Amino acid sequence: MSTDAPVKTPSTSFLNRLQTGFLHFAKYHGLGNDFVLIDNRDSSEPRITAEKAVQLCDRNFGVGADGVIFVLPGINGTDYTMRIFNSDGSEPEMCGNGVRCFAKFVSQLENLQGSHSFTVHTGAGLIIPEVLEDGNVRVDMGEPVLKASDVPTKLPANKDNAVVKSELVVDGVIWHVTCVSMGNPHCVTFSREGSQNLLVDELKLAEIGPKFEHHEVFPARTNTEFVQVLSNSHLKMRVWERGAGATLACGTGACATVVAAVLEGHAGRICTVDLPGGPLQIEWKEEDNHVYMTGSADVVYYGSLPL
């Protein structure tokens, strides 16, 4: 073999091709709640449209994901901004599992080692994820919002302006619901007529979930958490997400669940929430009224697609 010929590295031409007209992405998941992550640090406008995000999320004709997340430049003095499209193309204010994936992706992009944290501007305000030594991510999710008009819900509020254990008729059955916003809206239910503690494995989620999501009392639609109390510090939850349907986990939903459990007297402020995709540790701290979520976030693969 001649040694005089210039060495042509296939990887270089491959990379050039990728740089022009291709979309680089990383696929991540937080307990099976999966996302396409896009490095958008060079522009404050998402690189792809909501319509394109719907295509990417399609599990047959696309990459397959519950949402698409963008890492944008920080605003209001923060290090980064996070935006997200649900798999139906709607844009939620916040995503708990997503922000853990976001943190791990940023660590990769910026080559950050060891334990570190940064500030993220989201539709729910300031969120602070901390990547821990063990690879898990602890997130300061801020304060829950209970004021009915801010959740938002048209359900009647109590004297504190909160909707706690209110009756909601869905599909001809009375459900007891507590409404919490973690920036995005959540309707949490622990019981319904004839069942004091829900057996969540028995629920027909795909039938009942959309009826909550599109109920007239939720003007911005809602995420719904169906919760079984296992003990004072252990809850089991299944979720029907606004704009994404049944997912394997919901971080903001787990936070809302613990807040609702405390308000209804089902559990203490530190809980493990078991989701179909695995557990999350949640604490609603009395000292600062913030909710803290700790859990895993893992890369699945890196990919690129023609734009």
Phi, psi of 298 (to 5 degrees): -135, 145
C-beta closer to ligand LBFN2T5F: residue 127 or 263: 127
Q: Which residues contact 78 (CB under 8 A, 6 or more apart)?
A: 119, 120, 121, 126
Residue 104 is a binding residue for ligand LBFN2T5F (CB under 6 A): no
The one-letter amino acid at 197? N
- State in angstroms the smallest separation of the CB of 244 from ligand LBFN2T5F: 5
- State in angstroms the smallest separation of the CB of 137 from ligand LBFN2T5F: 12
- State in angstroms the smallest separation of the CB of 94 from ligand LBFN2T5F: 6
Residues 119 and 108 sit within 8 Å (Cβ to Cβ): no
- State in angstroms the smallest separation of the CB of 47 from ligand LBFN2T5F: 20
Interface positions, 228-247, toward ligand LBFN2T5F (CB under 6 A): 241-244, 247
Which single residue is written with the structure tokens 């204010």? Answer: 93
Residue 252 is a binding residue for ligand LBFN2T5F (CB under 6 A): yes
d(CA 183, CA 141): 9
d(CA 3, CA 254): 61
d(CA 257, CA 180): 8
d(CA 273, CA 253): 10
Give the binding range for ligand LBFN2T5F (CB under 6 A) out of 53-61, 166-174, 210-218, 251-259.
Answer: 251-259
Query: Which residue among 146, 250, 263, 267 contacts ligand LBFN2T5F (CB under 6 A)?
Result: 250
Of 228, 194, 222, 220, nearest to 208 by C-alpha is 222
Q: Is 57 helix (H, G, I), strand (E, B) or coil?
A: helix
Total count of residues recorded for the chain = 307
Q: How far is CA 251 from CA 178, 202, 278, 283, in A?
A: 17, 22, 11, 12
- State in angstroms the smallest separation of the CB of 283 from ligand LBFN2T5F: 16
The catalytic residue among 95, 101, 187, 255 is: 95
C-beta closer to ligand LBFN2T5F: residue 17 or 214: 214
Q: How far is CA 134 from CA 28, 130, 256, 266, in A?
A: 17, 11, 25, 31
Residue 124 is a binding residue for ligand LBFN2T5F (CB under 6 A): no
Q: Is 95 a catalytic residue?
A: yes
Query: Which residue among 46, 251, 277, 279 contacts ligand LBFN2T5F (CB under 6 A)?
Result: 251
Q: Is 271 a catalytic residue?
A: no
The catalytic residue among 57, 101, 187, 250 is: 250
Give the binding range for ligand LBFN2T5F (CB under 6 A) out of 89-97, 120-128, 172-180, 208-216.
Answer: 89-97
Catalytically active residues are 95, 250
Residues that bind ligand LBFN2T5F (CB under 6 A): 33, 86, 92, 95-98, 184, 223, 241-244, 247, 250-253
